[in-house]
C-alpha cells in the first residue's frame, strides 16, 4: 500500500556502487563524506536565502504590501543582494566586550542548527544519519543554541543584549519542556524514537489523525511551544525591537549579525520539519481509508515533495503567528507555559498512555 | 555512517562560519574609532558595565526547569517501551506524574511561578 516509487536509497546506492568501481574503500568513504557535506552546505544556504525571502513576501501580503519586487523577477534575488551587502559590511569590535565569547557565539548558533539537519528524514531513503534516538537528538541539538544566545548577549557588554539574552534563556528553557512532552506523546504511540521508524509507523495514516484528540492537543502545544523556542513572534521578547533595539544581537554587525539571522530561520525550518515528520507523516503521502484510486494518485507525488510541502506549510503557519498576534509580556509568557501548557501536556501524556494501553488508537 | 559522521557536519558548519567571517574581514572596509566601538545605549555615552545584577526570577525559573527537564529525559525511555510493557508501565507513570505534579503545585503555591 505504501509502496512509494521514488526511493532515494536506489540513487545513493548506485552512486556508491559507481564510486566503488573507481577507487578504493577509504577514498569512497572520503568522497561520499565530501559530497554529503557539500550537499548539506548547499541546502543550508539555499533554504536560508529562500526562507528570508518567503518571510518578507508573507509579511508583505499579510500587511497588504507587495514586498521585495525590484531585484530580479518578483524580487527573488533580493536576499542574495542583502547577503552580499552584509558580507561587505565592517565587523565592529565592541570596546568593552569579551572578545573570545563575542566571536564564539555565531559559531555555536550555526553549528547547532546545522547538526540538527543531519538527522532529519527528507525523503524515502534520504537521511544523512538515522539515529535510533532521532527525536531526542534533534530536540537536544536545536535547544543547545540557547547557549550561543546567552553567550552573545552576555559578552556584548550592552544592557540591551544582556536583557534580551536573559529573557531568551528563560523562555527557551521553559518551552523546551512542552516541546519535549508533546513529542513524547507520539513516541508513546509509535514505540520508537527513530525518526525513520516514526515515519514508517505512519504508512496507514498520520499520527495527528490516528491518535484521536490527544494527538491534536499535542500538535497544538508543539506548535505554540516550538514557536516560543525559536524566539519567533509573538514570543520574540528576546529581540523585541521596540524595547530592546535588537535584543541579544544588538552589538553584532555585518556577517556575524547575518549568522544570527540565518540561524533563526534555520531553527524555524528544523522545528517545522520535526513537526511535519512526527505529527504529519514526514514524507508519507496522504491516504484516505479505502479510496484505492485516490491513494494511488497520491503515491505518484514524490516523497521529497510531500516532506517539503508539509514543512513549508508549518513554516507558513509560524509566520502567520508572527504577523497576526501582538507580542506577549514576559510574565504572560511564563504563565502560559508553567500554568497552562505544562499541566495540560502532563495530563495529555497520561491520557495517551491510557489510549495505548487500551489499544484504542488505529 | 553513525554518530562519527557528526564530526563531518561539525567541520562543515565550522568551515561555513569561519570561511564567511574570514572572507568578510578581507573584503570589508575597516575604519575604527572609539565612538563606533562603544556598546549601543540610545546614542548617549554608556553608563557603567552591563555585567550587573539582574532579576532573580530568571534564576528561579532556571532551577524549576532543571528539575522538570531531567524528568522529561527519563520519560523518553519509558515512552519507547510503554507499548510492550503495558499495564505496569501505565501505573508507574501515574505514580511518577503524581509526584511531579506535587512538585509543580508546591512551586506554584510557594509563588515561584509568579514573575516579580
Question: Rounded to a whole number, what is the distance in Å from the CA of B43 to chain A's nearest CA?
Answer: 12
How many A/B residue pairs have CB atoms within 8 Å?
Answer: 209
Maximum separation of any 2 CA atoms in chain A, in Å: 68
Q: Are A89 and A255 in contact (CB under 8 A)?
A: yes
pLDDT value at residue A4: 52
Per-residue pLDDT reduced to its tens digit, A88-109: 888 888 877 888 888 888 899 9
**Which residues pair with residue A123 across a beta bridge?**
A126
Residues within 8 A of B (CB atoms), A 198-237 only: none
DSSP 8-state symbol, A327: P
Average pLDDT score over residue span A106-126: 86
CB contact under 8 A, B8 and A36: yes
In chain B, pLDDT over 70 holds for what percent of residues?
A: 97
In the predicted structure, residue A2 carries a pLDDT above the cut 60: no
**3-state secondary structure (DSSP) of residue A126:** strand
Residue-averaged pLDDT of chain A:
84
> Taking a C-beta distance cutoff of 8 angstroms, is the pair A186, A207 a contact?
yes
What was the ipTM of the complex prediction? 0.86
CATH of B5-109 among 1.20.58.1610, 1.10.1740.10, 3.40.50.11890, 3.40.50.10490: 1.20.58.1610
Residue A285 sits at φ, ψ, to 5 deg, of: -70, 165
pLDDT at A5: 57
d(CA A116, CA A138): 5
| pLDDT greater than 70 at residue A308 | yes
Q: Among A92, A118, A160, select the one facing B36 at the smallest CB separation.
A: A92
A277 contacts A121 by C-beta, under 8 angstroms? yes
Task: Please name the member of A95, A255, A346 whose beta carbon is closest to the beta carbon of B38.
Answer: A95
Residue range A343-358, pLDDT digits in tens: 898 889 888 888 888 8
* pLDDT one-digit tens code per residue, A215-239: 889 999 999 999 988 888 788 877 7
| Residue of chain A nearest B6, judged by CA positions | A115
Mutate: best of B20, B36, B108, partner A, most A CBs <10 A: B20
**CA distances (Å), A153 to each of A148, A251, B50, in order?**
9, 9, 10
Surface of B (7-26) touching A: CB under 8 A: 8-14, 16-18, 20-21, 23-25
Contact criterion met (CB < 8 Å) for A158 and B28:
no
Could you give the residue ranges of the DSSP H alpha helices within chain A? 8-22, 25-62, 78-87, 99-117, 134-143, 145-155, 159-190, 195-200, 207-210, 212-229, 241-244, 254-278, 292-299, 303-324, 330-335, 342-358
Cβ-contact A238, A165 below 8 angstroms: yes
In chain B, domain spans: 5-109
pTM of the model: 0.89
Peptide bond into A31 cis (omega under 30): no
Rg (CA), chain B: 25
> Which residue of B3, B5, B11, B13 is the best one to mutate when testing the A interface, meaning the one whose CB has the most A CBs within 10 A?
B13
Band the pLDDT of B2: cuts 50, 70, 90.
low
- The answer to whether the beta carbons of residues A318 and A227 sit under 8 Å apart is yes
Chain B residues touching A94 at Cβ < 8 A? 37-39
Q: What is the dihedral of CA A21, A23, A24, A27, to 10 degrees?
A: -130
Sign of the CA dihedral with A353 first, then A336, A178, and A284 last: positive
Give Cα separations from A26 to A31, B1, B29 (angstroms): 9, 13, 44
Q: Tell me the average pLDDT across A295-322.
A: 86
Q: Read off φ and ψ for residue A123, nearest 5 degrees.
A: -160, 175
Under an 8 A CB cutoff, do A343 and B104 touch? yes
Amino acid at each position: 500500500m505504501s509502496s512509494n516509487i521514488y526511493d532515494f536509497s536506489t540513487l545513493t546506492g548506485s552512486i556508491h556502487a559507481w564510486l566503488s568501481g573507481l577507487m578504493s574503500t577509504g577514498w569512497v568513504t572520503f568522497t561520499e563524506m565530501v559530497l554529503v557535506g557539500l550537499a548539506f552546505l548547499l541546502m543550508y544556504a539555499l533554504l536560508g536565502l529562500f526562507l528570508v525571502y518567503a518571510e518578507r513576501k508573507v509579511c508583505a501580503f499579510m500587511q497588504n504590501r507587495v514586498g521585495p519586487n525590484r531585484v530580479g523577477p518578483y524580487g527573488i534575488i533580493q536576499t542574495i543582494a542583502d547577503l552580499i551587502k552584509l558580507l561587505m559590511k565592517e565587523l565592529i569590535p565592541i570596546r568593552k566586550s569579551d572578545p573570545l565569547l563575542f566571536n564564539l557565539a555565531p559559531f555555536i548558533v550555526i553549528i547547532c542548527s546545522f547538526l540538527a539537519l543531519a538527522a532529519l528524514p527528507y525523503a524515502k531513503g534520504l537521511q544523512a544519519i538515522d539515529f535510533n534516538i532521532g527525536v531526542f537528538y534533534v530536540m537536544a541539538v536545536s535547544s543547545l543554541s540557547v547557549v550561543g544566545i546567552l553567550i552573545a548577549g552576555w559578552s556584548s557588554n550592552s544592557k540591551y543584549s544582556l536583557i534580551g539574552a536573559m529573557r531568551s534563556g528563560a523562555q527557551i528553557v521553559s518551552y523546551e519542556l512542552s516541546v519535549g512532552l508533546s513529542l513524547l506523546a507520539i513516541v508513546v504511540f509509535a514505540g520508537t524514537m527513530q525518526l525513520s521508524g516514526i515515519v514508517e509507523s505512519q504508512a496507514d495514516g498520520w499520527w495527528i489523525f490516528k491518535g484521536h484528540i490527544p494527538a491534536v492537543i499535542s500538535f497544538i502545544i508543539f506548535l505554540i511551544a516550538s514557536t516560543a523556542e525559536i524566539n519567533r513572534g509573538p514570543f520574540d521578547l528576546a529581540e523585541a525591537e521596540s524595547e530592546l533595539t535588537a535584543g541579544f544581537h544588538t552589538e553584532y554587525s555585518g556577517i556575524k549579525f547575518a549568522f544570527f539571522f540565518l540561524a533563526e530561520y534555520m531553527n524555524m525550518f528544523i522545528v517545522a520539519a520535526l513537526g511535519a515528520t512526527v505529527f504529519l507523516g514526514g514524507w508519507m503521502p496522504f491516504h484516505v481509508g479505502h479510496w484505492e484510486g485516490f491513494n494511488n494518485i497520491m503515491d505518484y507525488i514524490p516523497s521529497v515533495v510531500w516532506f517539503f510541502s508539509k514543512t513549508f506549510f508549518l513554516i507558513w503557519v509560524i509566520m502567520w503567528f508572527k504577523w497576526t498576534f501582538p507580542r506577549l509580556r514576559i510574565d504572560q509568557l511564563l504563565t502560559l507555559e508553567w500554568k497552562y501548557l505544562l499541566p495540560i501536556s502532563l495530563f495529555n501524556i497520561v491520557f495517551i498512555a491510557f489510549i495505548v494501553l487500551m489499544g484504542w488508537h488505529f | 555512517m553513525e554518530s562519527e559522521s557528526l564530526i563531518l557536519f561539525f567541520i562543515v558548519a565550522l568551515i561555513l562560519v569561519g570561511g564567511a567571517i574570514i572572507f568578510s574581514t578581507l573584503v570589508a572596509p575597516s575604519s575604527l574609532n572609539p565612538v563606533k566601538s562603544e556598546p549601543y545605549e540610545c546614542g548617549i555615552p554608556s553608563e557603567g558595565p552591563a555585567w550587573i545584577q539582574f532579576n532573580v526570577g530568571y534564576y528561579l525559573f532556571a532551577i524549576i526547569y532543571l528539575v522538570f527537564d531531567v524528568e522529561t529525559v527519563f520519560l523518553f525511555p519509558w515512552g519507547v517501551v510503554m507499548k510492550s510493557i503495558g499495564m505496569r508501565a501505565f501505573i508507574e507513570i501515574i505514580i511518577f506524574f503524581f509526584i511531579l505534579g506535587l512538585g509543580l503545585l508546591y512551586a506554584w503555591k510557594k509563588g515561584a511561578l509568579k514573575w516579580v
